[in-house]
Amino acid sequence: MFSAFEDGGPMWTGEGPRVASVDVRFDESFLAPPVVHVGLNMWDIDRHANQRADIQAVNVGFDGFTLQFRTWGDTRVARVRASWLAIGPVPHLDDWDVD
């Protein structure tokens, strides 16, 4: 999702509320906004500070969502990698379009 320690980014050098966002686009559109499950695959943090993290999918739509990672206080985050799974109805070749 990001790597902040190499260039002194705000997740690594800052304090207080911080957020990093990545827009994700689905390969195919869903028929309705799907349920999106998000998880941390890796996070690299400073051991001398509190460990605070919030990761979620926001603005979920037919075509994608925004993956959002937040931290706050004195937490110093060097890197984060996340995975996601979207579950919902998709078009099928056998669907009929009856007007």
- Give mean pLDDT in consecutive 10-residue pieces for the chain, a chain of 99 residues: 77 83 95 96 87 94 96 89 94 74
The helix or strand, by DSSP H or E, that contains position 60, with its residue range, turns out to be: none
Give the residue among 34, 90, 39, 30 at the shortest CA–CA distance from 67.
39
pLDDT at 99: 67
What CATH number has the domain spanning 2-87? 2.60.40.2080
Return the pLDDT at 14: 78
CB 26 within 8 A of CB 86: yes
Q: How many CA atoms lie within 13 A of 11 on its CB side?
A: 25
Torsion angles phi and psi, residue 34, rounded to 5: -80, 170
Residue 41 has a pLDDT of 92
Paired strand residues for 64? 25
At 25 the pLDDT is 97
- Give me the pLDDT at residue 26, please: 96
Domain range list for the chain: 2-87
